[in-house]
Amino acid sequence: MKGISDREMRELMDAYIGEPEGVPPLDPEGQIAFIEEYFAAGAPELKVIFLVCNWSLRALSLLLKGRPFSRLGVEEQQELLNRVMSSRNPLLRGVGVLLGLPLLMSYYRRPEVAVPLGFDAAALKEESTLRVVTRDRDLPPKQGGQP
């Protein structure tokens, strides 16, 4: 992905997702491919915002921790993210939230992760086909005689 290296993406994935218990591990290559597809399908501003948030987080790491984000341990990276996301300043919170959005979506959208957590997209789709909604018929008249 242009603008951010695979190493930086892996650092962010480790910081945001870590090593969850009871679900499959990270799939960096698959997740990076999904994120690239996500940015290609969306508004071009999404990728720019993601990159700006990445640079902002790395600058905040220098300001708040005194070290580059890549030199922090995973626990320190997560602590920095928690500090940023619990800030009263909406711009700082936005940095953490907007940066994490595609990263978390790329992980939790995977069926092998979503199903053990209680979200089975295939079952929901199957159930929705049982309840077909059409809008081809006229609506019933309003009650009470009001227009």
- Could you write out the DSSP letters of every residue in 64-88? IISS-GGGS-HHHHHHHHHHHHT-S
Nearest 10 degrees: Cα torsion 50, 34, 70, 22: 120
146 pLDDT band (50/70/90 cuts)? low
More confident: 144 or 143: 143
Can you give the pTM of this predicted structure? 0.78
Separation between Cα atoms, residue 108 and residue 30, nearest integer Å: 12
**pLDDT of 134 strictly over 80:** no
What mean pLDDT is reported for the chain? 89
- Spans of all domains in the chain: 6-130
Rounded average pLDDT over 16-34: 90
**pLDDT of 133 strictly over 80:** no
